[in-house]
Structure 1
Amino acid sequence: MRGLAHARVRGGLGIVASCVVGAAAILAVNVLIMGLSLVASDFADAKGVGPEAEEVSRALTGQDGSYALSADVTQALRDHGCWALLIDAGGQVAWGLDVPADVPASYALADVASFSRWYLSDYPVSCWRYGAGLVVVGAPRYSVWKYSVSSSIKSLGATALLLPVVFLADLVVLVVLARLFARRSWRQRDNARNEWVAAVSHDVRTPLAVVVADASELAGSQRLDGPDRARAERIVAKSRETAELLSDLNTVNRLRYAMEPVDAREVHLAAVLRLVVAGFLDGGAGGCELELDVSPAAEDACLRGSEALLRRMVTNLVGNSIRHNPQGCHVRVSLDVRGGLLGTALGRRCVLTVSDDGRGFGAETLSTLRHRPGDELPEHGLGLVIVRRIAAAHGGRAGFANDERGGCSCTVELPIVARRA
């Protein structure tokens, strides 16, 4: 059903849009969390790790080969279990504070290049220039992770391009998961609603049939006087109207959830119109006059779909005019063909119009019919909602309007299929 397919596409696009917003929000939250983590980490490092080599170098004074470190920096180093040393230009340790025994006393250029980048005897260290020498401050083993990372500009560019790819991959996963959960939720909801409608219809149909039978018997009884017999006839009429309403409810429910099959059969709409109009004339059209006008071009127009549903659609349209105009009106049913693209058969459509000169649609009913169909059933005009959904199920559309001169019209356009040889 094309109408149902459109509804599912709209639902799918809504899910995708929600997932895009959700993925963007998740990405923003992740970036924020990472930023806050880095700030918190730097703040914790500032308090949890002792003085760096730069601070020690500024606090270190020396003259004639004798060096002294300020008392506050010395205490800060010891409070954090750190040590410090000064390597002179010849690679020898010229000064030291609490230097562990396994730390060498002399260094070559290769040693300096190694520990300035990584570790010195497994101690994480920091280095800072002091005159011609080098101040080295070491922290306890396994207290600091230290690793120097470098990357080419090309690699950084590739990494920058990888971020959107990762974002799109996360988005795809999010869409798939959301779709799976949504389909499961929709299926459960649809099953629950279908079961509820079927149960209510079944439970009401049986006592309603009893009411119709008893009221019909009373209406035909000779023991009742005129007013009582008329009252019994009204009970029969309203009971049958309620039965039709239950049938409409079941039909609209099946169409909403694709439970009503559209038969892949060729249907002559002109024949369907004659059958429906004849049924109303035989069964009584109240005080209404019925007129049927089928153009020659529409006589052989063939649709592809369900004859039962199309008959129900036409019955609802004609019955709506009769039911809402008990004072009588003129109902005109017409069928014509609208030409295809550039005069070809491509896009040819049947145009069915049911109009009357009665009281027209109420403002609330017309507003409901002109809005996009939703999940909730309307309080009024259920039969016309079925008309719209049957038209959509056959790839067509239905329009409703009031006539300025009085009355209303319903126009249904349905695609014509090529006749099979």
Structure 2
Amino acid sequence: MKTAQRFFRKYLLSTFGILLLFLLLNCILVTVIAISSSNLSAKSDLPISRLAKLITVNDKGIETDKNFSKLLYEQNAWAMILNDRGKVIWEENLPEELPRNYTSTQIAQFSKWYLQDYPVRVWKHPAGLFVVGYPKHSVVKYTFTMDYDYLFSGLIGIIVIFSANILLMLILFWHNIHRVEKAVSPILTGIEMMAEGKSVKLTEKGELKEINTELNKAVNQLIKKDSARSEWICAISHDIRTPLSIMLGYAGEIEDDDRLTTETRTQAGIIRKHGEKLRKLIMDLNLASKLEYSMEPINKTLISPVELTRQVISDFLNNGLDSSFVLDLKTHSCAEKIVIEGDSDLLARMLENLIHNSITHNPHGCNINVTISDDENCCVIVVEDTGKGISPTLLERLNSAQVKSIVCDKGGEPVHGLGLNLVRQIVKAHKGKISFQNVEPHGLRISIKFPIKNKV
């Protein structure tokens, strides 16, 4: 469920980011357009105040600067000055169709609008009323008048409407996101539960009911396959147990019969050893299957890891450990006081498999040291040997949480198989952690951490 929430939270935040980016880009675009329009307007309009400064009045009359005519020519404009009686007392490029005398009414009209379709601008000048005219249809004049309070209210209204639209858009978007999240979250949760091997049953209704239906079918199919595999393993384990016991019994009798030749007794001993190995593999396979599907009840009790390890090592030594192997237990000063909570049978099987792993993969013998210590409220159990170790690639695969411990070589033969897979499952069932590491110059170190219950 946390994954689904994280996904939709990230999606919602990205949407807000896109919305803010959209608003920012629009503001930038409006600003650019406004500046461009302002520049274009500045290019298309003559600054009348600047032109007025280029006209002077002296004893000779009205004179213009040399740049005045040039500016008028560039804009195809014309100019004139009216006296107080409305008579044109000075002109330049003034169209012939325009009158040379104007009434006060005419002056008031063209000051606001047009002079016979010519857009004009007026400016107060010492010589009189300065008028600049532009070509027809080159400038649009529009006088806009509005009450201040009404304008202010209108601006406030525009802001409120804009904000309300943004808020409504966010609310609708959040509502849609919530609907999608409500529909998709069970699917994502179901996939997570499937990945953890748990049973899933989704409600087959809503907008995504087809996906829920297909996911339920997939879960049911996986459950059927897993059940069939589990039942097959249990049946095989049960069916093999009796004939295997008979084989081991007869092999043991032949091995102990002094009347037979040494070669025959040796062969019987080999058969017995491999039969015991096969029986252990079957037991591990059955136990691993039960742990995987939570069929094996874990009877947790308070356990001293030191005492449990001593018992396991004693069993190895008492059952005739080959002289090429040296098995030793090392404990730190505080290790005797450590108490953990767990299933003693499963933890014993874990230690047996780790020691068997060192023995099996180092047939020429090695030293095997089991060390128990504590580290930050954790009981640390380390099984280290002086054998040949493993390759870096294999080490990486063993440490990968996504890869099972059953690892095969290029020929498909198991290199580190069911025993380590069972160890990993036992460690997981006890909420522990396991790691693999090569030892210099050679050897393998397997470290396991379990939470400490208390110290006595």
Q: Normalised by the shorter chain, which TM-score bucket? A: 0.5 to 0.7
**2:302 equivalent among 255, 261, 266:** 266
> For the Cα contact (< 8 Å) 1:321–1:358, is it kept in 2?
yes
Higher RCO, 1 vs 2 (CA within 8 Å, ≥6 residues apart): 1
CA 1:323–1:160: 2 relative to 1, 3 Å: closer
SS in structure 2 at match of 1:332: strand
SS in structure 2 at match of 1:325 = coil
Letter in 1 for 2:379: C
Q: Which amino acid aligns with 1:226?
A: T
The separation in 2 between residues aligned to 1:260 and 1:207, in whole angstroms, is 25
SS in 2 for 1:417: strand
Deviation by residue 1:217-244 (Cα, 9 ceiling, x = unmatched): 1112223212221111000000100000
8 Å CA contact 2:406–2:420 kept in 1: the answer is: no
Q: Where does residue 242 of structure 2 map in the other structure?
A: 206
Letter in 2 for 1:308: D
Equivalent residue number for residue 387 of structure 1: 423
CA contact (8 A) 2:404 2:421 kept: no
Using a 3 Å threshold, how does the CA distance of structure 1 residues 388 and 161 change in structure 2: closer, same or farther?
closer
Q: Which amino acid aligns with 2:229?
A: R
Structure 1 length-normalised TM: 0.57
Q: Deviations over 1:261-319 (max 9, x none)?
A: 22231111000011011111111221211111111211020111101111111111112
1:408 paired to 2:444: yes
Is the Cα contact below 8 Å between 2:398 and 2:404 reproduced in 1?
A: no
Q: Which residue of structure 2 aligns with residue 327 of structure 1?
A: 364
- Structure 1: which amino acid aligns with 2:232? W
Assess, with a 3 A threshold, how the Cα gap between structure 1 residues 326 and 167 changes in structure 2: closer, same or farther: closer
Residue 350 of structure 1 aligns to a residue whose secondary structure is strand
Correspondence for 2:258 among 202, 206, 222: 222
- Cα contact 2:427–2:434 (8 A) shared by 1: yes
1:156 and 1:396, CA in 2 relative to 1: closer, same or farther beyond 3 A?
Answer: closer
CA 1:154 to 1:336, structure 2 compared with 1: closer, same or farther past 3 Å?
closer
| 1:336 and 2:373 aligned | yes
Shift of the alpha carbon at 1:323? 2.6
Say whether 1:254 aligns with 2:290.
Answer: yes
Q: What are the superposed Cα offsets for residues 23-74 of structure 1, whole Å, 9 maximum, x if unpaired?
A: xxxxxxxxxxxxxxxxxxxxxxxxxxxxxxxxxxxxxxxxxxxxxxxxxxxx
Name 1:369's counterpart in structure 2: 398
| 1:161/1:268 CA distance change after superposition, 3 Å | closer
Q: Structure 1, residues 388-408: CA drift from partner, whole Å, max 9, x if none? A: 221121111111122221121
TM-score by length of 2: 0.53
1:325 positional shift: 2.4
Shift of 1:181: 4.8
| Aligned match of 1:349 | 378
Looking at structure 1, the residues matched to 437 and 361 of structure 2 have their Cα atoms a distance apart, in angstroms, of 15
2:347 is equivalent to residue 310 of structure 1: yes
The count of aligned residue pairs is 271
Which of 165, 168, 178 is the matching residue for 1:165?
178
State whether structure 2 residue 453 is matched by structure 1 residue 417.
yes
Residues 144-172 of structure 1, C-alpha deviations (whole Å, 9 max, x = no match)? xxxxxxxx969974555543333233324
Q: Is the 8 A contact 2:339 2:454 kept in 1?
A: yes
TM-aligned CA deviation for residue 197 of structure 1 = 0.8
Contact residue 358 and residue 408 of structure 1 kept, 8 A: yes
Q: Which amino acid aligns with 2:182?
A: A
Residue in 2 that maps onto 1:297? 334
Q: Percent identity?
A: 29
Q: What SS does the aligned partner of 1:312 have? A: helix
Instruction: Return the alpha-carbon distance in structure 2 between the equivalents of residues 207 and 231 of structure 1.
Output: 19
Distance 1:165 1:293, change over 3 A: closer
Between the aligned partners of 1:211 and 1:276, the Cα distance in structure 2 is 26
Give the letter for the 1:324 counterpart.
H
Q: Which residue of 1 aligns with 2:32?
A: none
Q: Aligned in 2, Cα 1:222/1:293: closer, same or farther, shift over 3 Å?
A: same
Q: Is the 8 A contact 2:252 2:272 kept in 1?
A: yes
Give the structure with higher Rg (CA). 2
Q: Which moved more, 1:310-319 or 1:183-192?
A: 183-192
CA contact (8 A) 2:378 2:449 kept: yes
Describe the shift of the 1:161–1:403 C-alpha distance in structure 2 as closer, same or farther (beyond 3 A). Answer: closer
User: Given the alignment of the two structures, is residue 245 of structure 1 paired with residue 277 of structure 2, yes or no?
Assistant: no
CA deviation string 1:182-226 (max 9, x = no partner)? 553443232112101111111222221121112111112223212
Q: Cα RMSD over matched residues?
A: 3.2
Task: Work out the CA distance in 2 between the residues paired with 1:212 and 1:373.
Answer: 38
Given that 2:325 and 2:366 are in contact with CA atoms closer than 8 Å, whether structure 1 keeps it comes out as: yes
Q: Is the 8 A contact 1:285 1:322 kept in 2?
A: no
For residues 381 and 391 of structure 2, what CA distance do their matches in structure 1 show?
22
**Residues 368 and 196 from structure 1, CA distance in 2 versus in 1: closer, same or farther, beyond 3 angstroms?**
farther
Instruction: Within 5 Å, give how 1:5-404 maps onto structure 2.
Output: 157=169, 159-172=172-185, 174=187, 176-177=202-203, 178=212, 180-181=216-217, 183-286=219-322, 287-338=324-375, 340=376, 348-361=377-390, 366-373=395-402, 377-378=406-407, 379-381=414-416, 382-404=418-440
- Please give the secondary structure, in 1, of the residue aligned with 2:334: helix
Q: 1:325 to 1:258 in 2, by over 3 A?
A: same
Gaps of 5+ in 1: 1-8, 22-151, 341-347
CA distance in 2, matches of 1:208, 1:311: 24
Note closer, same or farther for the CA distance 1:224–1:270 as it changes in structure 2 (3 Å cut).
same
1:353–1:166 Cα change, 3 Å: closer
Q: Indicate conservation of the 8 Å contact 1:369/1:385, yes or no.
A: no
